[in-house]
Amino acid sequence: MTSFAIEISDLQKSFGEQIVLDGINLNIQTGSVFALLGPNGAGKTTLINILSTLVKPDKGIARIAGNNVETDVEAVKQSISLTGQSAAVDEVLTADENLRMMGRLSGLSVAASRKRATELLNYFDLTNAAHKRVKTFSGGMRRRLDLALSLVVSRSILFLDEPTTGLDTRSRQALWDIILKLAASGVTIFLTTQYLEEADQLADDIAVIADGRVVAQGTAEELKAQISGEMIELRDENDRIIQSFPTDGTVQDLRRILDEHVENVTNCTHVSIRRPSMDDVFLELTKKKQEVSSK
Amino acid sequence: MNLSTVNKTASARVTSSVFIGRGLRHSLRNAEALIMAIALPIMLMLMFTYIFGGAIDPSGNYVNYVVPGIILLCAGFGSSSTAADVADDMTNGIIERFQSMPIKSIHVITGHVVASLARNLLATGIVFGVAFLVGFRSDANFLEWLGAIGIISLFILAFTWLFAAIGLFASSPAAAGSYGFVLLFLPYISSAFVPTETMPTWIQGVAENQPMTPVIEAIRGLLNGQLDSNYVWWALGWCLVILAVSYLWCKWMFQRKTGRR
């Protein structure tokens, strides 16, 4: 038994002339939360679609729980659950009917489906809306139901394609709490996101992808360490940044920067030191990639 | 909450019955489509009986002539809403969820087809009810009624599969819905409202050789006791060919749309 839930080696995919995945290599630990971070069009959804057997790769191998996604389709489907980018819920049915339908389709008996639906409605805080048609739901409720539908029977690997896109802060936080609770229960979670904060908050391991390639991989801390250290920011009395300089964070370097620059910068009254945010990492990494590809 | 891994698969029987239940719920909750499918033929029947009827057949027997045509118009138009139902499922993301599950997801389509059959037989019953109220009379025996309803059912099934395939083919639910107009139009170029002999010769060629005419004549013959069995064979032939071609087209389109690219 391998310790990797998902193994991806040299995965390639093109749609016509357009190269979407250009040799992806990733190994994802069983029981971890993995975030695939990238801008629109980076190939995130295509990768998820290949891993969930909806799309065939042109080249390379992907294994889910040891099963090849191309040749062991049924075995792969038995171990995964997919929550796609658009909330895949039946708008005409009620939340309860959606859950019971999914229970029956997953091989549960009528009674077991009903019981499971009640549990999930409660867990996802949808009990009050259980018998309302999904058409009337807010974005956050829809997303919660969508995730609940993916959990009707527990699969060992959960794919979440941009789970919080389009949600307000409160709904996003609620969904994050649920994802962390699921992760704590031992499910392997593979999520894609455009939000650095989300990857930072949820994931044990992050891969940044741009133009179909993994441009960086590691923990949030490791990624932040990849780009040059801290910044010193000179601010005016209203706390607006006037100018900023990279620093190694030593007393000597701070003194040097202040000596050299404060005289020349008018209105400088305040100083702050900032560690790079995930945004800095992200912009840095995707910028590098674009420079390489434009050469 | 229990999160232990369960590996179970729904049988084909359970899968199809779940999707049929879903299709029926969709039909019942789409009130506009349901009302339209029933109200439109009733309005047409009242219009043809009370407004045009006197001019077409001054003896007042026109209602007995026109009922089979109205029934088919109703059934055809009612079937056409399957296209929008199918297109909806194919475009709103839910099909990906079904596809990623260990089930045969083509049963989604079967569910809509069975629901359409149920919905349109109900509408047919209501239209017959109204027909009797406005003076329609038939001396058909039980077997003749059974035959007429059998042909109507086969017609509904054939056109529902055709529109399911159109729903898979269309780019959006709105586009899919717009193909239904053909079924509103086709009965006019048939023996539905006036005998084909009264039409110009060049149209007669079309009217007599399109599927509506034999189906309508077969039903009319079964209900008024002047059955020409040739029409029944032609009606069955047409319906079975449309059914077979549409079903295969549907399977092929579904494979293409959901197949692994």
Which pLDDT belongs to residue A252? 87
Is the CB of residue A84 less than 8 Å from the CB of residue B96? yes
Return d(Cα A103, Cα A3) in angstroms, integer.
Answer: 29
CA proximity to B183, closest of B257, B46, B87, B77: B77
What CATH number belongs to A4-221?
A: 3.40.50.300
Q: Provide the pairing of β-strand A230-235 with A241-247.
A: antiparallel
Average pLDDT over residues A240-258: 82
B122 Cα to chain A: minimum distance (Å): 21
pLDDT greater than 70 at residue A31: yes
Domain boundaries, chain A: 4-221, 225-294
| Closest alpha carbon to A162 in A18, A42, A290 | A42
Residue A15 near residue A8, CB atoms below 8 Å? no
Given an 8 Å threshold on Cβ–Cβ distance, is A107 in contact with B18?
A: no
- Kindly tell me the burial class for residue A176, based on how many C-beta atoms sit within 10 Å of its own C-beta (0-12, 13-18, 19 or more): middle
Average pLDDT for A235-264: 82
Residue B257, CA distances (Å) to A202, B174, B253 in order: 34, 18, 6
Q: Residue A241 forms beta bridges with which residues?
A: A235
Question: Any residues with CB less than 8 A from the CB of A87 and at least 6 apart, and which?
Answer: A139, A142, A143, A145, A146, B93
Per residue in A261-292, pLDDT tens? 877 777 788 888 877 766 777 777 776 655 55
The pLDDT of residue A295 is 42
Sign of CA dihedral B38, B43, B44, B50: positive
Interface check A290 vs B, CB under 8 A: no
- CA gap A20, A15 in Å, rounded: 7
**Token pair recorded at residue A49:** 């679609």
Give the DSSP letter string of chain A: --SEEEEEEEEEEEETTEEEEEEEEEEEETT-EEEEE--TTSSHHHHHHHHTTSS--SEEEEEETTEETTT-HHHHHHHEEEE-SS----TTSBHHHHHHHHHHHTT--HHHHHHHHHHHHHHTT-GGGTTSBGGG--HHHHHHHHHHHHTSS--SEEEEESTTTT--HHHHHHHHHHHHHHHHTT-EEEEEES-HHHHHHH-SEEEEEETTEEEEEE-HHHHHHHS--EEEEEE-TT--EEEEEEE---HHHHHHHHHHHTTTSTT--EEEEEPPPHHHHHHHHHHHHHHHHH-
Q: Report the DSSP pairing between strands A4-15 and A59-64.
A: antiparallel
Strands (E), chain B: none
Sequence-distant (≥ 6) Cβ neighbours of residue A44 within 8 angstroms? A36, A38, A161, A162, A192, A209
> For residue A15, what is the nearest residue in chain B, using CA coordinates?
B261
For A:84-113, CB contacts with B below 8 A are 84-93, 97, 101, 104-108
The confidence score (pLDDT) of residue B34 equals 83
Query: DSSP assignment, residue B60?
Result: T
User: A154 and B2 in contact by Cβ < 8 A?
Assistant: yes
Residue B181 C-alpha, separation from nearest chain A C-alpha, in angstroms? 25
The whole-angstrom distance between A186's CA and the closest CA on chain B is: 9
Burial grade of B171 (CB within 10 A; 0-12, 13-18, 19 or more): exposed
User: Residue B69 carries which side chain, given as an amino acid letter?
Assistant: G
Residues facing residue B157 across a β-bridge: none
Using a cut of 0.90, tell me whether the model's pTM lies above it. no
A contacts of B101 (beta carbons < 8 Å): 77, 105-106
Q: What are phi and psi of A196, to 5 degrees?
A: -65, -40
Q: Which residues of B touch A185 (CB under 8 A)?
A: 1, 3
What pLDDT score was predicted for residue A227? 62
Nearest to A11 by CA among A28, A23, A29, A26: A23
d(CA B106, CA B122): 25
User: Cβ separation of B96 and A97 shorter than 8 Å?
Assistant: no
Query: Which amino acid type is present at position B185?
Result: F
Least CB–CB distance from B102: residue in A78, A185, A186: A78
* CB contact (8 A) between residue B100 and residue A149: no
Mean pLDDT of chain B: 88
pLDDT in tens, A156-207: 899 999 888 877 888 888 889 888 988 898 899 999 988 888 888 899 999 9
Tokens of A76: 């792969």
Count how many pairs of residues, chain A against chain B, have C-beta atoms within 8 Å: 92
Could you give the count of Cα atoms lying within 13 Å of B55 in the half-sphere of its Cβ? 5
Query: pLDDT per position in chain B (261 positions), as tens?
Result: 454 445 567 888 999 999 999 999 999 998 888 888 888 888 888 888 888 887 888 777 888 888 999 999 888 888 988 999 999 999 888 888 898 888 888 999 999 999 999 999 999 999 999 999 988 888 889 999 999 999 999 999 999 999 999 999 988 888 888 887 777 788 888 888 888 888 888 888 888 888 999 999 999 999 988 888 899 999 999 999 999 999 999 999 998 887 766
Determine the residue among B6, B20, B88, B97 to mutate to test chain A binding: the one whose Cβ has the most chain A Cβ atoms within 10 Å: B97
Q: Which residue of A lies nearest to B9 if distances are taken between CA atoms? A: A107
Using alpha carbons, select from B51, B235, B45, B18 the residue that is nearest to residue B136: B45
Q: State the smallest CA–CA distance between residue A170 and chain B in angstroms.
A: 23
Judge: A106–B29 Cβ closer than 8 Å, yes or no.
Answer: no
Could you tell me the sign of the dihedral formed by the alpha carbons of A222, A224, A228, A231, in that order?
negative
Q: What is the DSSP letter of B58?
A: T
In this prediction, residue A1 has a pLDDT band, given cuts at 50, 70 and 90, of very low
> Is there a contact between B260 and A54 if contact means CB atoms under 8 Å apart?
yes
Q: How many CB atoms lie within 10 A of CB A227?
A: 16
